[in-house]
Structure 1
Amino acid sequence: MGLRHIVAGVVMALGVAVVPANAQGLVPAAPPVAPVPPERPACREVADLPFLTIDPDSAARLGAIGLSRAAIFAQMHETSIPETMGCWAMPVGNFDSQLVSVGMSQWNFGTGSLQPLLKAWKKARRGRFGRERRALMPAYGKTIFSRDCLAVPVKDKCREKILAAHGADGKLNPVIRGEFNALFESDAMLQVQLDTYLVLLEAVRQDLLRVFPEGPITLRKVRWAVDTKVQQGGFPLDEDLARLRRKLAAMSEGERWERLGAIFAWYGALSRSIDQDGVQRDWAWNMDRWRCLLDTRRIDPEQYEMLHLTFLRSRTAIGNSGRWQALTFERRAKIILGVGSVSGKTDGECLR
């Protein structure tokens, strides 16, 4: 009830300006300055490289929804920003209960998304596998490519060995972190990551036709769908989409901005709560700019519907008991509005 009371008060501020937003403690008195992103360590950055190949048939299908080769790599880089700060590797440990996450899309052992990449790399190396594994991962390669670690879910023996490779600070020790970097920045693994991402993009193409059956499929929708697929694996069910659209169609014009304000208020209140991570440097800047867009009515019908669809899916983000719900909404709202901050990286602006 406490959260609903907070949201209700903020909605009034956003919708009819009965209570100043500052009185609700939602937005600082002065417009917040743009957050400073953390310094990125030296890494191999996600980008198009001449040796990376895309199957011509796949390229043709993706081209039909506006994804040229350049657009594919631009989308990969965009996906990697909140995941790895734009790097091909950047392994992290068990902070989110996924054991190890690595790669431009942060594939991990916990969800079983990492094992297929390891198997694909092993298969691609054929007779060179043993030699290259020892060269790239001399200390931990035998463990990482063991049957216990390639199983889904990983076996207890694998879990114990990887957890033992974490330091007292809960992070991967420098040796295993360096070896994962070496593997995931290798040319062959870059191709595996690209191939895996292309499969995701092909699936997104089918999802878009279901979620937006009346079209058109804009680049904004493609970017939104990719982020949804990467972070949550799928989209709302048809019955949920139909229910939401019935409610949107029945809504009076006078309700439109108050309803959207309520969603922004949910994000703002959630960001300030005790168990939300990944949004601390961003939420105040986002709330200030998104309020500006709302107050000046600079949100078009496509953006309006997509924000409601994002709310529908974000509130079902259950990882770590909902720890990432605000971040989930933040990532997609930035894509939809073209204005926002994620992981300290700001784009766009709203001038009053």
Structure 2
Amino acid sequence: MVDEFLQRRAPVSHEDRSPAVQRFRELIGTDDKMLVVFEWIRTAAKSDISVLILGPTGSGKELVARMIHELSRRTPHRLQTVNCAALPDSLFESELFGYEKGAFTGATERKLGRVELANRGTLFLDEIGDLALLAQAKLLRALEERRIERLGGNETIEVDFRLVSATNQPLDLLVREGRFREDLYYRINAFSIRLPSLRERAEDIPTLARRALARNCEANHLAPDAKVLSKDALDLLCRYHWPGNIRELESTLSRAALSSPGRTIRPADIELLHPRESVPSQAGGRLESLAEAERAHITRVLEAVRWNKKQAAQVLEISRGTLYRKILEYGLASTVR
């Protein structure tokens, strides 16, 4: 199925011109999940529908946003990216809508906002779940009216942009908690694309690891096979749970290639960020990994408090934000009716 997919590129010339598509193809292994994601991306790119990309940290959400833009009719124009998690509430309006000269102290000249810069193109809001409620209201108004005003100005500016958003948080749960506006949720979630975690397609790890290693060698002006993984090293990578997903896998292999004294990378050359969570198999039976134990424990606590997230977070001694991310990461769903 993978071979048939790689041979069927429609339209060939358009996809082959897209750097994001070429990068995404490198993330496709033997598991069919990423092929399904690719078809979703193709479908979304055909229209201007608002897209919400869901997935854990490091799974490739920004890459998917770039693919949607590059495969759409808006590709001749700009893709503007805003990291909502890194944007202070006080700067939201000036960053998105821009400002006029003299609008505030330090505003020595007019600055166009990201929304205006994305006119006729695509606006990508990464980690949209981190927006404050006031910022959500201002964003909703811009989406509904397709008009903005720069900070300190009185001119109404019409804008035409396609919105793509991404989050690693379960927005539906945030809506129930009153932390995310329900009307904005429906506005941005007209079409959703969910990216699987690397753990969900563990059979792809050997293929992805070899590709990432070859790409790292080429980036350092070496032959693609200048570094290779030993069988034990590959086994170690396959046992690890990869909380940082593709991003963590690639950075781990970059470190290993640098620290390995010879051509062959061995387990001693690999530095895992959470090594205690990677448990070797035992002759007496498979031991439960820390990630599996955590998932089971979180599930038990949620069921015990009938999925009251505030109580569950208190019992687990973690923040509600961390709990939301764990719920999404482990694919947990309430059975309470």
TM-score in terms of structure 1 length: 0.29
Structure with the higher fraction of residues in helix conformation? 1
